[in-house]
Amino acid sequence: MRKEKFLLRNGIPYFTLVKGLLLFLATLSINSCSYHKIQAIPECPPTVSGGFVVVSHTERTSQDVMDQVNMQPDYPGYYDYTDMFHSMQADAVGNGLAINLIAHDMVHYTSTDNNGNPVTLSGLLVYPWSVWKTLKAPIVSVDHGTILMKNLAPSRWKKASYSDWKKFPEMAVADMLCLWYGWIIIMPDYQGMGDDSTENHPYCIRDRLGVATADMLQAAEDYYRCGGNTYVSWDGQAYLYGYSEGGYVTMAAARELEARDVKLDGVVCMDGPYDLSGTMLNTLLGENPFPVPYFLPMMLVGYNTMYPGIFDYSNALIEPYRTDIPKYTTGFYDIPVVNGIMPPDKILKKVFTASFYDSLRNNNSQAFQTMKENNSYLGWTPKSKMLIWHCKNDDCVPFGNLVAARDRFSTLGISNIEYVEWPAVDPDPSGSTIHVSVAPTAFIEGAKWIYHHSK
């Protein structure tokens, strides 16, 4: 089970009594062996980002992570998170990389809020540690997908009941990446999530999400560069990795970091809604039911927050959606509630007024142009190595998102991007969406790509 405590001095965690005793006994039994000596952390010099402030600390073992994975369904004959755990374990053991001990630090860092003003954002730092030596590892930003509840953001997961881990398995993915590949994992909560509870989450707003993620990566680099952690040191490599909204955020963060001249060793974007004004808008305004209706309320609240004059509820929505969408899409109501306020037949265009629907269909309207400006693949030329991975029959984030990005980048003559068109898959036995069912496959494929490039 989880063992939680707080940092007490200079960012160095005290071990639990049992771990301290084990360390003492180990030092007695291997007199001639070299082991990791806990040393005082030097005073961190001023940095560009301000680094991290560590708020709390938790330690986990491989059994803790396995228990967490076991909260997810295990379907024989279907690739799921249990299969991912064992696949990565086999890679690690075969290459002598097994860690078995990891730590979670809830951290604060400086970024900007929805208005561009300085704000303290929260996130999670996950790192491997050893009692024998200081490990070296790359930093991988695991950019999470859609979360409706503020209290299920990465920095808050360890405070949730174990039953809540079923709702969002990306924490298990982050732990596995750290446990078996030995990576330093950072997970930004983003604006409006975690400790930033007073503002709305800027869902699918390229600039805001890109900045929050870029700021956390730079804070992590500064934290390790100045010796902020005695258990693991940064090897100089940095990667971005995300699925679904996380794929969108990853592409947006890559753009932001490259504009800052921050070196990235690889970027992994998986099944993300990069093409908001094309593929996604056509899907949302179509005649067919949309399997996850909450996507539209999340987007409308984010866009109303950032562009209140253009995405004004009174002009955009008919009742009862004009009242219910802002009322229930606040970060305090879960998926069933938000889905329940949408049209019963899941045809999402029914929430719009006729005039606003027409404006979304008009390429010259402010609403359309605003969505186009937030397409994550437009307006830049990627310099970093990138993997864009997409399942061909994704039913929530259609394959056209990959096609749009590929067509755009190909016209620029870019050769540093790999595209993977994953074959169509069947939904898992629970009857879940394809988007949810194929996620473990995406995560392992993206992880192996980073693993290959980081060696």
Location of structure tokens 């932001």: 256
Co-location of 114 and 252 in the same domain:
yes
**Contact 302/281 with Cβ under 8 angstroms?**
no
pLDDT over 50 at 31, yes or no:
no
Start-to-end CA distance of the chain, whole Å, equals: 33
**pLDDT-wise least confident of 25-39, 62-76, 394-408:** 25-39
pLDDT over 60 at 12, yes or no:
no
CA distance linking residue 234 with residue 222, whole number of Å: 10
- Residue 211 Cα distances to 111, 117, 254, angstroms: 7, 12, 10
Co-location of 127 and 20 in the same domain:
yes
In single-letter form, the type of residue at position 158 comes to: K
Co-location of 228 and 144 in the same domain:
yes
CA distance linking residue 325 with residue 282, whole number of Å: 21
pLDDT at 378: 96
pLDDT band per the 50, 70, 90 thresholds, residue 8 = very low
Co-location of 134 and 157 in the same domain:
yes
**Category of 406 on φ-ψ map: left (φ > 0), alpha (ψ -120 to 50) or beta:** alpha
Choose between 193 and 29: higher pLDDT: 193
CA distance linking residue 233 with residue 390, whole number of Å: 33
Q: Above pLDDT 70, what percent of the chain?
A: 87
Question: CB atoms < 10 A from the CB of 276, how many?
Answer: 26
Query: What CATH number is attached to the domain comprising 296?
Result: 1.10.260.160
Q: Residue 95: CA atoms inside 13 Å, Cβ hemisphere, count?
A: 14
**H-run or E-run covering 408:** helix 400-411
Choose between 343 and 40: higher pLDDT: 343
* Model confidence pLDDT, tens digit, residues 141-167: 999 999 999 988 999 877 766 667 677
Query: What CATH number is attached to the domain comprising 55?
Result: 3.40.50.1820
pLDDT at 5: 33
Radius of gyration of the chain from its Cα atoms, rounded to whole angstroms: 22
Co-location of 271 and 281 in the same domain:
no
* Model confidence pLDDT, tens digit, residues 200-246: 999 999 999 999 999 999 999 999 988 878 889 999 999 999 999 99
CA distance linking residue 167 with residue 22, whole number of Å: 35
Co-location of 53 and 69 in the same domain:
yes
**Contact 221/265 with Cβ under 8 angstroms?**
no
CA distance linking residue 221 with residue 299, whole number of Å: 31
Assess whether the previous peptide bond of 427 is cis (omega < 30° from 0).
no
Task: Provide CB contacts within 8 A for 239, sequence distance 6+.
Answer: 138, 139, 140, 141, 264, 265, 266, 267, 268, 450, 453, 454
In single-letter form, the type of residue at position 123 comes to: G
Co-location of 60 and 171 in the same domain:
yes
Choose between 286 and 32: higher pLDDT: 286
In three-state secondary structure terms, 270 is strand
Co-location of 150 and 63 in the same domain:
yes
Average pLDDT value for residue range 435-451:
96
The sign one gets for the Cα dihedral 178, 184, 190, 194 is positive
CA distance linking residue 264 with residue 220, whole number of Å: 13
CA distance linking residue 89 with residue 130, whole number of Å: 17
In single-letter form, the type of residue at position 109 comes to: Y
* Model confidence pLDDT, tens digit, residues 428-437: 888 899 999 9
**H-run or E-run covering 391:** strand 386-391
Residue 327, domain extent: 276-373
Domain termination site, one of 373, 395, 412: 373
Q: What angle do CA 203, 206, 211 make, to 5 degrees?
A: 100
pLDDT band per the 50, 70, 90 thresholds, residue 60 = confident
Exposed/middle/buried for 152, CB within 10 Å: 0-12, 13-18, 19+? buried
**Contact 210/249 with Cβ under 8 angstroms?**
yes
Q: Are strands 386-391 and 417-422 parallel, antiparallel or unpaired?
A: parallel
| Number of domains making up the chain | 2
pLDDT over 90 at 13, yes or no:
no
Q: What angle do CA 221, 223, 227 make, to 5 degrees?
A: 115
Please name which of 100, 127, 253, 123 lies closest in space to residue 188, comparing C-alpha atoms: 123
- Mean per-residue pLDDT of the chain: 88
Co-location of 295 and 411 in the same domain:
no
pLDDT at 45: 52
Domain termination site, one of 373, 403, 433: 373
Co-location of 297 and 403 in the same domain:
no
Q: Are strands 386-391 and 118-128 parallel, antiparallel or unpaired?
A: unpaired
Highest mean pLDDT pick, 36-40, 54-58, 439-443: 439-443
Please name which of 403, 405, 416, 402 lies closest in space to residue 379, comparing C-alpha atoms: 405
Co-location of 265 and 331 in the same domain:
no
Co-location of 392 and 325 in the same domain:
no
Q: pTM (2 decimals)? A: 0.89
CA distance linking residue 169 with residue 73, whole number of Å: 11
Domain termination site, one of 326, 351, 373: 373
**Category of 331 on φ-ψ map: left (φ > 0), alpha (ψ -120 to 50) or beta:** left
